[in-house]
Homo-oligomer: A and B are copies of this chain.
Amino acid sequence: MSQSVEAHPLYRMINPRSIAFFGASNNFTSMGTIIFASFRALGFEGPVYPVHPREQEVQGFRAYRDVAQLPEVPDLAVMVLPTGIVNQTLEACGRKGIRNVVIVSGGFKEVRGEGEDRERELKEIAARYGIRVIGPNCLGVTNPHHRLNMTPFPYEGEPGFIGMASQSGSFVTQMFHYLHGLGLGFSTAVSVGNEADVDLVECIEYLGACPNTKVVALYIEGIRRGSAFVEVTRRVAARKPIVAFYVGGSEAGRRAGSSHTGALAGPDELYDGMFRQGCVIRAADLTELFDFCWVLGTLPTPEGPEVGLLTDSGGPGTAGADACSRAGLRLPEFSERTVEKLRAHVPHTGSLGNPVDLTFHKNPKDFYTEIPKAILEDPRVRSLLVYFLMPVEFIERAMMHMGVPNEEIAGKIEGITKWQGRAFADLMHTHGKPIVGYTWRGLEEPTIRTFMERGIPVFPGARRAARALAALVRYGEIRKRLLAAV
């Protein structure tokens, strides 16, 4: 695992210098053409060679009639071809000397019957030429740091830190937009499809070595190499967290997965055991998978499950405390010193306990400075959970009534909002304890957005926030255990 990423067998597959592309044309109802369009949109910088039997030019690129005619041996070939001609094309790639191929086309093992024969033949050809294959029935590799995207949706936003290995291509390409909305992105994502050759385990190993990847996300319908999985994830988890969403354990999930990628699922308990052994944090669904990645990739790891909770509303505070309990977190009593510090800022209708409930606060600044500071200074508290509420219209109305001239309101609010985000970010860095927020306002609200922009994740609802915080605690425990074992 001290291996450099360049030495990894998948390096050229994921960081190719040149690419042959099969299946793109100028007809925009074909999947190959759509994929090639989003590939182009990201601006891959090396030579690209579309191969097409009839077209002279494909979307502005010179096309080649046959792979044999390419002026060089490209690092990678991508195939989005009709099922029936995949294997012969693979053979032609092999003859040309191409050693990395992504096969997007479906119609193999996942459709059973002759599809299984076809996949067997595919593997034989690959073995004969020493070709590494990702797929078939996949969306291959997205490596935005390398401007590489071979999926139908254009990549959105900046390259990120989430390294994903997925048994669903949709959960790569259809998540670009979702992740971008949270200010997140993939470092590298591999859709492994039927895993005729490259499998999840090998991808996890790659992502473990990949310097752009801070956290590894897995979507799993079934694992073929159980002990290799455990061995690799344990090694990777000592350096970066791994989160998995596994669907094969439920009756319907198992059946659906089997017709999707032909994966072999097992009961939940078996996978729970494997994840525990492999130091993998399990997410209950896809939303949670990325929630966990968000906090694990951005926040300091807390020293324990003790949470301080700050709110200015009773119900949301109680619901937050309930969510913490159910997620396995604890709300310790504050030290007497902390209670003394808080007393100066909390009105008599509020609560000095944990949660700290300000109720109505006349000096809103305290909510962003003195009160969270007092909580974070308490040695019993390892992380801070905050209920965020204040909508912009509310501040506007207050300013209007306080006589702030209309034309100054927007600027003043922007100033306050920015200051609030900065204040929390400073607190987090000073104390080295993670801060997570929750709200039922939209995440697009400027008073919420400001925290996200400053690196404080804010979740819709208490449950998601508490469970994300619990994942962070869990990783702290995992790392401690793994480092102790060394």
Contact = CB atoms under 8 A, between A and B. Distances in A.
A47 interface: no
Contacts of A394: 153
A414 B212 CA distance: 40
A317 B348 contact: no
B463 A287 contact: yes
Chain A, interface size category, equals 35 or more
A391 interface: yes
A401 interface: yes
A355 interface: yes
Interface string A48-76: 00000000000000000000000000000
Contact of A259 (B166, B357, B393): B357
Identical chains bound together, number: 2
A397 B37 contact: yes
Contacts of A326: 250
Interface stretch (A170-178, A230-238, A334-342): A170-178
A324 interface: yes
A413 to B, nearest CB: 16
Contacts of A284: 463
A394 B320 CA distance: 39
A258 B340 CA distance: 21
Name, among A31, A326, A348, A397, the residue most crowded by chain B CB atoms within 10 Å (CB to CB). A326
Contacts of A309: 256
B247 A319 contact: yes
Interface in A299-342: 309, 313-326, 330-331
A208 interface: no
A122 to B, nearest CB: 16
B31 A317 contact: no
Nearest to A193: B314
Contacts of A181: 442
A351 interface: yes
A323 B284 CA distance: 9
Contact of A29 (B257, B330, B362): B362
Interface in A230-278: 245, 247-253, 255-257, 259-261
A255 B331 contact: yes
A363 B290 CA distance: 32
A482 interface: no
A359 B253 CA distance: 17
Contacts of A402: 28-29
B322 A252 contact: yes
Name, among A320, A393, A440, A442, the residue most crowded by chain B CB atoms within 10 Å (CB to CB). A440
Interface of A: 28-29, 31, 37, 83, 106-107, 111, 137, 153-154, 166-171, 174-175, 177-178, 181, 219, 221, 245, 247-253, 255-257, 259-261, 284-287, 309, 313-326, 330-331, 348-349, 351, 353, 355, 357, 359-360, 362, 389, 391, 393-394, 397-398, 401-402, 440-442, 460-463
25 contacts: A28-B397, A28-B401, A106-B349, A106-B359, A107-B349, A168-B314, A168-B315, A170-B313, A174-B316, A177-B441, A247-B321, A250-B326, A252-B325, A252-B330, A252-B331, A256-B320, A256-B321, A259-B357, A260-B315, A260-B351, A260-B357, A261-B314, A284-B463, A286-B319, A287-B461
Which 4 residue pairs are nearest across A and B when measured between Cβ atoms?
Answer: A168-B315, A253-B322, A250-B325, A28-B401
